[in-house]
Amino acid sequence: MSNNAKVEIYYWTTCPFCTKARGLLDGKGVEYTGYDITGDEAARAKMVERTGGPKSVPQIFINDVLIGGCDDLHALEKQGKLDKALAHG
């Protein structure tokens, strides 16, 4: 699936939820920008600034709108709304 949307994900390399979220995107062939913030407090602070508070990973943005974490991404997929969100760039 090609996507027109700008997709970004903040993640840790050791986080199973991050791996699961990236796996869903990879499985759909979604192009995204990944930010590996493992052990990088400055990068994590930037992520928290963008999210407006949430500090957990992953944090996923579609077109600069916070989608949330792994469960939120999978919920969109289950509801059939993820493909629609990814189609709008």
The model's pLDDT over 70-83, given as tens digits with 9 standing for 90+, comes to: 999 999 999 999 99
Query: Which amino acid belongs to residue 47?
Result: M
What pLDDT score does 18 carry? 98
Average pLDDT rounded to a whole number, residues 55-61:
97
Opening angle at CA 84, ends 76 and 74, nearest 5: 15
When divided into structural domains, the chain yields a total of 1
Residue 55 lies in a domain: yes
For 2-26, write each residue's pLDDT tens digit: 578 999 999 999 999 999 999 999 9
Q: Provide the phi-psi class of 85: left if phi over 0, else alpha when psi is between -120 and 50, else beta.
A: alpha
In a domain, 1, yes or no: no
**Domain for residue 71, yes or no?**
yes
pTM for this predicted structure = 0.93
- CATH number, domain of 78, equals 3.40.30.10
Could you tell me the residue range of the domain that residue 46 belongs to?
7-87
Average pLDDT for 23-35? 96
Contact, 4 vs 87, CB < 8 A? yes
